[in-house]
Structure 1
C-alpha cells in the first residue's frame, strides 16, 4: 500500500492508497483542494472541518447537476433511438412528371410558333 500526500486548503494530508490508485486519489484531492481554495478566497480563514464540509457540499452540488444533465441526455438518446426522426423526401409521382414534361413541350412549341410568327411578320 502506497501513501499519498496532498494539500487541501492550507492543511497537508497523508493517506494510504491501494497500489495503482495513487493518481486517482491525487486527482480527487486536487479537485477538493480547488473548491477549498475558492472558499478560502471568499471567506478567509475557515476551520478545517467547516472548510472540508463546504468544499464537499460544493462538489456534491456540482455532481448532482452533472448527474441530472446526464440523465436528461440518456433519456433523450433513448427517445431518439426508439423513435428516430423521420426524414421525408418528397417524391414526384411519375404521372405528374409526365404531365409536366408534356406541358413543357407544349410551351416550347408555342414559343417556337410565336417566334416564327414574329419573324415571318417582320420579313414580309
Structure 2
C-alpha cells in the first residue's frame, strides 16, 4: 500500500492508497484543493472543517449539475436513436449545373420564338 501526500487549502494530508490508485487520489485531492483555494481567496483563512465542507458542497453542486446535463443528453440521444430521421443533402455536380443552365437558356429562347410567332401570325 502506497501513501499519498497532498495539500488541501492550508493543510497537508497523508493517506494510504491501493497500489495503482495514487494518481486518482492525487487528482481528486487537486480538484478539492482547487475549490478550497477559491474559498480562501474569497473568504480568507477559514477553519479546516468549514473549508472542507464548503469545498465539498461546491463540488457536489457541480457534480449534480453535470449529472443533470448528462441525463438530459442521454434522454435526447435515446429519442434520436428511437426515432431517427434520415436527412439527405443532394450534391449537384458542376457539369450537371452547367447542362441545366444551358437547357434553361434554350427553353427561354424557344419560348421567345414561340411568342414572336404567335404575335406575328
TM-score class, shorter-chain normalisation, is 0.7 to 0.9
Matched, 1:62 2:62: yes
- Larger-gyration structure (1/2): 1
Cα deviations by residue, 1:25-44 (Å, 9 ceiling, x for unpaired): 00000000000000000001
Q: What is the rounded CA distance, in whole Å, between the counterparts of 1:10 and 1:87 in structure 2?
A: 57
Q: What is the rounded CA distance, in whole Å, between the counterparts of 1:15 and 1:58 in structure 2?
A: 23
Moved over 3 A (4+): 86-89
Residues 113 and 53 (structure 1), Cα distance of their counterparts in 2 relative to 1, 3 Å cut = closer
Matched, 1:111 2:113: yes
Cα deviations by residue, 1:57-103 (Å, 9 ceiling, x for unpaired): 000000000000000000000000001124378xxxxxxxxxxxxxx
Taking structure 1 as the reference length, the TM-score comes to 0.73
Aligned to 1:18: 18
In angstroms, what is the RMSD of aligned CA positions?
2.7
Aligned to 1:51: 51
Aligned to 1:41: 41
Taking structure 2 as the reference length, the TM-score comes to 0.75
Residues 109 and 29 (structure 1), Cα distance of their counterparts in 2 relative to 1, 3 Å cut = closer
Aligned to 2:29: 29
Residues 85 and 15 (structure 1), Cα distance of their counterparts in 2 relative to 1, 3 Å cut = same
Aligned to 2:97: none
Unpaired segments of 5 or more residues in structure 2? 90-105
Aligned to 2:82: 82
Cα deviations by residue, 1:11-61 (Å, 9 ceiling, x for unpaired): 000000000000000000000000000000000111100000000000000
Aligned to 1:94: none
